[in-house]
Amino acid sequence: MPEKQKNGKRYKINGRTFTWTTEDGDEVEIPMRVKLKVIRQMAGREMDAEAMFDMLETLIPEQAPVLDEMDIVTDFQPMFMAWQEEYNALSGATPGE
């Protein structure tokens, strides 16, 4: 899949990796494919803040310093929503599936 940047959005995709550029110009790379073992590791856990950070560290290791500096409203939430949209498009799913 070729790299793309949609309508001036702050991310690009190279087929396997979603790269988000924060408002401060730092980049976070998130895989476009998630191994089932990540989901299995979280099974049975209450999805509290600690579990969320454990999952992030598993999915995007060694990027905690950038994540720690992200604003929840202007960076983290839009990043996750954009990744989810692209992940759904890659898998052929539509919202709610």
In the chain, where are the structural domains located? Answer: 11-33+63-91
Q: What is the mean pLDDT of the chain?
A: 83
Residue 36, pLDDT > 90, answer no
pLDDT tens digits, 10-34: 999 998 999 999 988 999 999 998 8
96 pLDDT band, cuts 50/70/90, is low
* Residue carrying structure tokens 């856990």: 45
CA dist list (Å): 82 to 36, 37, 86: 21, 23, 6
Position 4 pLDDT exceeds 60: no
What is the residue type of 21? Answer: T
